[in-house]
Structure 1
Amino acid sequence: MQTVADSCTVSDTPAPQSDESTHPHATDLESLVGEWLTVPDAAERIGVSLSHVRQLIADREVLAARIGERRVTAVPAKFFDETGPRPELRGTFTVLADGGMGDDEIIAWLYTPDATLPVEGAPIDAMLAGYKTEIRRRAQELAF
């Protein structure tokens, strides 16, 4: 009688790693965004404590992702102005999340170049140029 172990073959190929840092999407997101701020960098930029930045992330005032080899929590730099989180982003985060997107997907959507926008660049660039309503409309269309 053949056992389960007898019917299995051993491969010299290592098993795929489940660590997200080996996933190509993690690297793609990191390069797509370009400029990131770690929690300490964000705190220094806007003059608040580390715990305040962590609370901004928890409250979804800004979104964060794990980047780099060490998988540090970082926020796209364009999510902040000199005084803090850009207020026009929170509603867009909510619309996209309600449409089923996760944080990494939302960040990727905001940073993916789109030639049909009223300004050159990605949705985040259009928002910063004053086209918040147009970007929210497009975000709502994704939800349906």
Structure 2
Amino acid sequence: MSTPTPVTALARRWRLEVNMGTESTPDWQLCPAITEFQWEAPPNLEDSGTYDDDGWDGNTKTGQGWSVTATFNRKISKDSTVYHPVHEKIRATAFGWGPDSEIPIRWMDRDGLPEAYEGSALVEWAPSGGNKNDLDQVEVTFTGNGPLAQITNPLAA
């Protein structure tokens, strides 16, 4: 029996969801129309080397942050009277203060593979603008406020 040839995963495998409910009664909904998605969780490393290390560097992880940057096409109703509710929740959060400036998000592999994450984030909202033929796009940066949890992928079989 031969080993199957592995296939390279695609960047579009990510699905971003926003909690439109509350912490006690979550209502996770898709953030639609994403055209670009990037996340990172860089550690904070501090030099912990000493004279006793014979000149070799020592490093200690002392913290970690995380962020997600997503660009999406802005969606409106067919009668052009309202924006998509998830997009509006994100936009409104970007202009909030205190607890109103954070939004719970999660993202996962849309094919059900094990990679999935959840956390609470502050929002930066940056419309792209453009010329008369461009789509209305927004770049949103979610900056983690607190831990990024590795979760069981809700789309897993």
TM-score (structure 1 length as normaliser):
0.23
TM-score (structure 2 length as normaliser):
0.22
